[in-house]
Structure 1
């Protein structure tokens, strides 16, 4: 699978997220997982010395692992699709800034508890979505890195398509849906052989 092949990545992820209730659950919980991870990563050491920026409202931005993660995600999304990717990169940047503000205000002793609670709730919701509604294990069990990297962008593209009819290019949605249907059919055939 090509690193920036949006159709193939979207079809892979979409084949694990085809049920509307499961998609909705992911729309609610994927970005909070990313955000709260950034809250925790705020407390990682700076990448280089003197890499702190003091903003208004007592916010201190630290160029650390959280910043690096937001940059990698943002660049990857722009590489996948320029328009939606720019929006995804902006959301990653806003998550980094706002999570930094929250983490700085809370301090580590409170922040890790908030992160733990949010992560447990969000992951539990997603596993319920897969077990109860999708009736298929999550994508992260088959491709951990791809699932973590694509999840926020998948949710963003789903929202843009659902609410605004956005397509990266004409025919994208139909092409991806055909690939999703083929992957689901192949998975069902494998399950049938496994069970017989």
Structure 2
């Protein structure tokens, strides 16, 4: 995963991701599945605290934050920081909300793991694996059956994984009239990208 100046360019990131999500059914599937995937991935990465010989506590300066005393430095925190910084850098309103949601996921999933939560009689991590697998399955069905195009992650893994959650929030914001001029400008480019993809497919047949 690499970062450059385009990594925080909302127009480029959104048009890239939206070019792979033009079918309404596929978009609806992603609206439902993307954040559960982020939540379960965060929870599973919380288990990295137990995969090392030791795990580091929060620095003393951060221990006064909510839940900071209990939450360790682990792979889930690395994930949270990457997403929070990326979302804030790309879009202040929807991205700010997304950043707060990611922070909530970090502390919430740590609470679940540290307190050994159970769902339907099964450890929370087992339930997380089931949700994670099912959500990804539905998304691949969305691409294969409805979109007719491979997922964005096959072309740019880091762009797809990071942009997905923000894409969902922006789709909701745009639906309610947020930044319409910017939205239509991006969608013009998305339609151009899709036409170019279809033309290249015809030439390849």
Q: Deviations over 1:80-115 (max 9, x none)?
A: 011111111101011111111222233698233112
Check if 1:51 corresponds to 2:64: no
The Cα RMSD (Å) is 2.6
Check if 1:26 corresponds to 2:36: no
Aligned residue pairs total 191
Q: Deviations over 1:42-83 (max 9, x none)?
A: 1213897332869999x9322221112112101111100111
Q: Specify the alignment match of 1:7 in structure 2.
A: 11
Q: Which runs of 5+ in 2 are unaligned?
A: none
Residues of 2 paired with 1:184 and 1:84: CA distance?
A: 25
Q: Specify the alignment match of 2:21 in structure 1.
A: 17
Match of residue 80, structure 1, among 90, 94, 100:
90
Check if 1:158 corresponds to 2:171: yes
CA contact 2:34–2:165 (8 Å) conserved in 1: yes
Residues of 1 paired with 2:42 and 2:157: CA distance?
A: 18
Residues of 2 paired with 1:194 and 1:174: CA distance?
A: 30
TM-score (norm 1): 0.88
Check if 1:136 corresponds to 2:149: yes
Q: Which runs of 5+ in 1 are unaligned?
A: none
Does 10-19 or 95-104 show the bigger shift?
A: 95-104
Q: Specify the alignment match of 2:44 in structure 1.
A: 40
